[in-house]
Structure formats: C-alpha cells, structure tokens
Structure 1
Amino acid sequence: MQTPLIGRSFSLIEKVGLLAILAATLFAGFSEVKQMVQAGHAGVSDLLLLFMYLELVSMVEVYWTAGKLPVRMPLYIAMVALARHMLVDQQLPALDLLGTAVAILLLAVAVVVVRYGHLKLPYRDAIDSRHLS
C-alpha cells in the first residue's frame, strides 16, 4: 500500500524532472536560434531540429497535464530525427540512406498500428472517461 507522502514525493520528482527536460529543451532551442541568427541563414536541417525541440516541449506539456505519454509522440520525433540525419549527412552511402528510409517507413507503420489500436482496442480507462463526459 502506497502512503500519501510517497505518492506526493514521486509526483514531485516527476514534475521536477519534467521541468528539467523543458529547461534543457528550451536552452537547446534558443541556442540553435542564436546560431542561425549569427550565421545569417537557416537550413532545412536547422528547421527540422527546431521542430524536434517543439515536439519535445509538446511532449512535456502532454505528460504534465495528462500524466501519460502517447507512444506516437516519440515516434514522430524519431522520424524527424532520421530525416534530419539524412539531410545533414550528405555523404551517406546508398545502403545507409536506404536503411534510414526504411527505418522512417517502419516508424510510420508503427504510428498507424498504434493509432489503429487506440481506435479499435481502447484502454479500459479511456472507455470509462468517454462515458463520464
């Protein structure tokens, strides 16, 4: 049996961890914007990196408010990260390029499977919350 003090302690640790992730993400995002301003231009890879930071901020917000992390969000970030990797490393061998493209495709299939599962096989608490609202 969990005592209220232990439950609150874990909740506090979780919130502090989320704030640390948010602060680090914002710091990295602002540092990237600063580098783009200093360089005087922004490339597609820079924009994809900023998009990844934005998705991380969104993930923290969803986890903070709902207390749950949708599996699809990290999958989206992974797809963008792999696409950015393909753009940044211009000298990728053809086989590596193909492997990265297949990895993005597999992640996209995983998103579809997860989404289908959530629609057709909802969790019990999701069913209960729909009936309450």
Structure 2
Amino acid sequence: MNIKWAEKMRKGLHGSADSLGNLCVEGFHYLALFGIGGITAWAAVEAFLDMLSKGGVSVDDILLLFIYLELGAMVGIYFKTNHMPIRFLLYVAITALTRLLIGDVSHHKAPDVGLLYLCGGILLLAFAILVVRYASYRYPSSRALDAHGKEVDEGR
C-alpha cells in the first residue's frame, strides 16, 4: 500500500515538474520572440528615420530595409508555427551579401577577388535555397511537431 502511494506521489510530482518546466520554456520562448521582434522593428524605424534625416536614399538603404522585413517575417512565422524556415535565413544572407556587393562596387573603383567571393557566396546560397525547396517538395514532412514534440495539424 505504501508503494502505491509513493508511486502516485512520484507521478504527481513528475507531472507538476513537467508542467512548470513547460511553462518556463514557453514563457522564455514568447519573451524572446517579442524581444527579437521589437528590436527588429526598432532598428528598422531607426534606419528609416536616418534615411529621412540624410535627405536621400541609396540602394544600400533599401536593401537594409528588406533585411529588416525578412527578419520580421521570420519572427512572425516562428511565432505562428514554432518552425524556423531555413529559407528565410538564406534570403537574409543573400540580401546582406547583395548589399555588401553593391556597397563595395559603388565605393571602390577597382574590382578585386573579393567581388568574386561575394558573387560565389550569393550563388552558393541561391543553390542552397534550390536544394531546400526541392527537398521539402520531394520529401514533405509527414507530420509536424510543436515545441514539445506533440503532433500538430498544419492544414496540408
């Protein structure tokens, strides 16, 4: 009889610890997402106001705003689905390298081997997006899991 009581107590304690742990993890998850989203929005507004104060906008500035837009979209998608789409990280990287490439070409007169490295990096990232898209089309996920490993319906 004591063994049944102890086992019941252990299971109750384990369930309570799981619930508390899940609450802490989800709380941190949402706090971090709101923080990242807020900082991204703040940086985008700050960059926009800086553009207005300069009185002119360059292609570098527009690409910077696209980077902020993509980061915001990543936060929104992660918030809704608990999945981080790797493609958005690749898009951000391509946009950042393109911004660097345009800035490098417009500010330096003599092209060097660094220009080829940047173009090669963009090409490699574009190929990576192609591979990721093909893999997700050819081998779709049979089930989606939430942050706790439970199956969720994605409406597919």
Do they fold alike, i.e. is TM over 0.5?
Answer: yes
More helix by share: 1
The gaps in structure 2 that reach 5 residues or longer are 1-13, 145-151
Q: Secondary structure at the residue paired with 1:124? A: coil
Residue from 111, 125, 128 that aligns with 2:129: 111
Matching residue's letter, 1:107: L
Residue in 2 aligned with 1:18?
A: 33
1:56 to 2:53 alignment: no
Residue in 2 aligned with 1:98?
A: 116
The gaps in structure 1 that reach 5 residues or longer are none
Take 2:133 and 2:42, find their aligned partners in 1: how far apart are those partners? 32
Q: CA deviation at 1:123?
A: 1.7
Take 1:115 and 1:8, find their aligned partners in 2: how far apart are those partners? 34
Matching residue's letter, 2:72: V
The percent of aligned pairs where both chains have the same amino acid is 34
Structure with more contact order per residue of length (Cα contacts < 8 Å, sep ≥ 6)? 1
Take 2:153 and 2:77, find their aligned partners in 1: how far apart are those partners? 17
Residue in 2 aligned with 1:124?
A: 142
TM-score for both structures, normalised by structure 1: 0.91
Residue in 2 aligned with 1:71?
A: 86
Matching residue's letter, 2:78: Y
- Cα-to-partner distance string for 1:66-115 (whole Å, 9 max, x where unaligned): 00011100000000000001112232742100100000000000000000
TM-score for both structures, normalised by structure 2: 0.78
Give the number of aligned pairs.
Answer: 131
